Amino acid sequence: DAGVIQSPRHEVTEMGQEVTLRCKPISGHNSLFWYRQTMMRGLELLIYFNNNVPIDDSGMPEDRFSAKMPNASFSTLKIQPSEPRDSAVYFCASSLDDRGKNEQYFGPGTRLTVT
């Protein structure tokens, strides 16, 4: 299995631009999670989906952030407009849902730099 795939691995953009991060979960997994990692705040859950439905988006910082999961094999996290404080590593993870018992498999992350 290829594991969780994220693209791009690195993204550098200017403030005000739209950024789209992509994730392909492991085939057969039905839960998908988006996390953000920064030095100041550590690992934060942004949003998670179960069976393609957003379950908890309370971690999404503000309306500039949106996430979609149109099918079981693809999800996007969009930031519009981007700001320098959005600079971070964004991780996607997937798991086979068993009410939190199963491990989450993480992708390699997307390092976002907003100048």
Partner 1 sequence: AQSVTQLDSQVPVFEEAPVELRCNYSSSVSVYLFWYVQYPNQGLQLLLKYLSGSTLVKGINGFEAEFNKSQTSFHLRKPSVHISDTAEYFCAVSYTGRRALTFGSGTRLQVQP
Cβ–Cβ < 8 Å for 31, 94: yes
Query: Left (φ > 0), alpha (ψ -120 to 50) or beta: where does 45 sit?
Result: beta
Instruction: Say whether residue 33 binds partner 1 (CB under 8 A).
Output: yes
Confirm or reject binding of residue 48 to partner 1 (CB under 8 A). yes
- Shortest distance (Å) from residue 16 CB to partner 1: 28
Does the footprint of partner 1 cover residue 108 (CB under 8 A)?
Answer: yes
Residues that bind partner 1 (CB under 8 A): 4, 31, 33, 42-43, 45, 48, 50, 55-56, 91, 93, 95, 97, 99-101, 103-109
